[in-house]
Chains A and B, each alone.
Chain A
Amino acid sequence: MTTRTGPLTNEVADTDTRAFIRIEDLSVSYGGGALALDRLRLTVAEGEFLCVCGPSGCGKSTLMQVLSGLLPPTTGTVEIAGRRLYASGRPEYVGVGYVFQDHRLLPWRRVRANLEITLAAAGVPREQWDERIGRTLQMLQIEQFANAWPLRLSGGQRQRAAIARALVVDPDVLLMDEPFSTLDEVTGRALRTELVEVWARTRKTVVFVTHSIREALFLADRVVLLTPGPGRLLETFPVTVPRPRDYEDVELARLEQQVVEVALRGWGMAR
């Protein structure tokens, strides 16, 4: 395995000392008492690209809701950039960027307005809007669609706009919940490659949830496998393959095999 230096090199972070997101014994149970997450412990380093993989119903989306400020934990604590979330026990504004599985743009507002409304809500002064929107749209190569209606864009363009909305507020953390799972294979690949480039430029801390191990390995510095629900940490895999990565990379294929083996055993599907 080769390691390159330069901006696209991964560093496998020492997550204990440089934890940017710190999740301690996080449990979430819904009304009836069924656990979605069970004493999950996880740390994410600043600037790290973390992928969370797990079978359906393992609590991936629950984890994202907790991190985004929508869902207070039943027990346990969550810290982002040294700030403890849910100190009041209630949902709160965390200031993350969030890309959902579907675009969730306001369909009756143009792309630019979608970004402006989000900037206003984040309290960004109006003088900065033009520059920020221009820069973000350009980075995602959709500056020509600034005045387009979201529903007249292709699926890939909508998802780019959704990523632009997440980045335009300059968040500490970018949460992505299976953002490419509804796209066709080729568009998905193109967007994954671009996401890695955008991440390399912005150095955001990314938590990316997916059920695709291959996608996770292509993107991440580190892949975390969860158990079937209630979600617990099953295994962590550092990915040191240098970027830009190739889907057909031998090392990635070897890693994929290794992760799949662990997953099959851990998810109770081994034969």
Chain B
Amino acid sequence: MTTNLSQRRRRRQRVLQVILPWGSLILLVAVWWLGYDRTRFIPPPSAVLAAVPEFVADEDIVGNLLASLGRVAVGLGIAMVVGTFAALAMASHPRWEAFFGTYVTVGFGIPGLAAALFALMIFGLSDTGVYAAIAAVTFPFVTTALRSGAGAVDRQLVEMANVYNYGFWRRHRHITLPTIAPDFVSTVRNMHALAWKIAIIAEVFLARDGLGAEFKKAFDQFALEPVVLWLTVFLLTLFGIEYGVLRPLDRFVHRWRALT
């Protein structure tokens, strides 16, 4: 009886897990369908759907996507490297805590738009500017997220490593890095979406290709269907990376945990 009940409950939970995300998507489209003509310019779903073949045929979707993706990867990569370094330094000594603390506090406050404009002033129209804008905005979050984990290295494991002569590199590779790896991956996951947002803003000003540049081009020509379609491409990419790369990566760094 009880197993039957709990089985049924579990099955219902699984069904809900599948239905709910799709349900929220369908609701969104329904609101769009019912509400578009109350707005000034939002095109109806039917018009957007009709624009798909032309969009796919004429636009360099893959090329622009890869351009943006590359910028996100490099920008976030810089932020992860600098942030990890800063977090380890902050964990190692109060002096560094104070030093990087200033950057982190200031960094939290920088609006994405300001970072993009400053990058434009410093680097001109270039990818370097986009990297810098992404890195500047995400770096404080990375540092803060990794800071607590960096101080949590198990002293007893370090003692074991000393008895067995692990040495500097082996100790960091097999104790320090695995200790911060779960925090590192969850930080990448959390920062990934933010990095995309900054990348799009920065591309509006600093780039000739990429999703941000395409948004701007489409909007300048008042081509509203492509704006919606580029947004769709953007969201699909975000979902794809979350489910195709980041979640499996998260499972990978947690694979050694006890089964509970």
Partner of B178, one of A70, A108, A118, A152: A108
A-B contact count (CB 8 A): 56
Q: Are A151 and B256 in contact (CB under 8 A)?
A: yes
Give the chain A neighbours of B166 by CB distance below 8 A: 117, 121
Q: Which of A102-127 contact B (CB under 8 A)?
A: 102, 104, 106-109, 117-118, 120-122
Which of B160, B162, B164, B170 sits near A91, CB closer than 8 Å?
A: B162
In the complex, A98 Cα to B256 Cα: how many Å? 24
Chain B residues within an 8 Å CB radius of A70: 159, 162-163
Set of chain A residues within 8 Å of B256, measured between Cβ atoms: 107-109, 149-151
Give the residues in chain B near A169, CB-CB below 8 Å: 164
Q: Is A69 in contact with chain B by the CB < 8 A criterion?
A: yes
**Residue in B closest to A148 when the chains form the complex, CB atoms:** B256
Tell me the minimal C-beta distance from B230 to chain A in angstroms.
41
Shortest Cβ distance from B157 into A: residue: A104
Interface of chain B: mostly helix, strand, loop or mixed: helix
B157 CB to closest chain A CB (Å) equals 6
* Residue in chain B with minimal CB distance to A70: B162
Range, interface on chain B: 20 to 34
CA distance A102 to B156 in the complex (A): 9
Is the beta-carbon distance between B163 and A69 smaller than 8 angstroms? yes
13 extra A-B contacts, CB within 8 A, seeds A121-B170, A151-B257, A152-B259: A93-B165, A100-B156, A100-B160, A104-B160, A106-B175, A107-B257, A108-B256, A117-B166, A117-B174, A120-B170, A122-B164, A149-B258, A150-B256
**Which of B's residues lie within 8 Å of A, judged by CB?**
156-157, 159-160, 162-167, 170, 174-175, 178, 181, 255-259
List A residues at the B interface (Cβ < 8 Å): 68-70, 91, 93, 95-96, 98, 100, 102, 104, 106-109, 117-118, 120-122, 149-152, 165, 169
Query: Could you list some 14 contacts between A and B, CB below 8 A?
Result: A69-B163, A91-B162, A98-B163, A98-B164, A100-B156, A104-B156, A106-B157, A107-B257, A117-B174, A118-B164, A121-B167, A149-B255, A149-B258, A150-B256
